[in-house]
Structure formats: structure tokens, C-alpha cells
């Protein structure tokens, strides 16, 4: 499962060095991917074409921390930009 968190234009070879003014930037998508075997979240990056930018921007979500007053638990979830509430994963059980 993939959750897109950012779509931005960056240098192809990013790092701790200066780039010339003539260096080109490329579109990259940053996303979280869940590995079901190890049960962990990984942050990944992929270079994309200019045509795919609106598609990935429409799928963009935000990682936010929520608090459930019923069970006094903090949890984080991926939500759309203006979404304010999420069901608690601990109260559902």
C-alpha cells in the first residue's frame, strides 16, 4: 500500500553539495510504503514525468496525529488535506 506525501521538483543527485545554476531539476514523488512481511513503513522516492504530476498531487495525503478521548490513545493516520476526524483504530475492536 502506498501513500503519497509529497510531489516536488528537486535535483536528480541530491546531497550535501552545491549545484550549478544550469543544473536541471526533475519531478519526484515521495511516498510511504507498507511492507507486509516485516510490518514496517518505509519512506521511498521515485522520479516521475511531468505528465504524472497532477495525478500524484490529487492522491496526496498528510500524516497527522490524532487523539481519541474515549480510550485516551494517540494514533497517526493518513488523511486528505481538510479532513478533521478519523475513526480510532483502538475503539473499533
Give the pLDDT score at 85.
80
C-alpha–C-alpha distance, residues 3 and 78, integer Å: 8
The answer to whether 19 touches 26, Cβ cutoff 8 Å, is: no
Cα maximum dimension of the chain = 56
How sure is the predictor about 14, in pLDDT bands with cuts at 50, 70 and 90? low
Continuous segment of H or E residues that includes residue 80: none
pLDDT of 19-77, one tens digit each? 677 778 899 999 999 888 888 989 999 999 999 999 999 999 988 888 888 888 888 88
Give the pLDDT score at 48.
94
Tell me if the pTM is above 0.85. no
29: cell is 514523488
- Pick 78 or 21 by higher pLDDT: 78
Q: Could you state, in order of their start, the residue ranges of all structural domains in the chain? A: 1-11+25-59, 61-93
Q: What is the DSSP-derived secondary structure letter of residue 51?
A: G
Cβ neighbours, 10 Å, residue 4: 18
Amino acid at each position: 500500500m502506498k501513500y503519497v506525501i509529497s510531489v516536488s521538483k528537486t535535483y536528480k543527485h541530491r546531497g550535501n553539495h552545491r549545484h550549478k545554476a544550469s543544473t536541471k531539476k526533475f519531478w519526484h514523488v515521495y511516498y510511504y510504503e507498507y511492507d507486509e512481511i516485516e510490518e514496517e513503513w518505509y519512506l521511498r522516492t521515485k522520479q516521475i514525468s511531468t505528465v504524472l504530476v497532477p495525478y500524484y498531487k490529487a492522491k496526496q495525503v498528510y500524516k497527522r496525529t490524532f487523539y481519541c478521548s474515549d480510550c485516551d490513545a494517540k494514533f497517526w493516520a493518513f488523511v486528505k488535506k481538510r479532513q478533521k476526524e478519523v475513526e480510532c483504530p483502538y475503539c473499533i475492536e
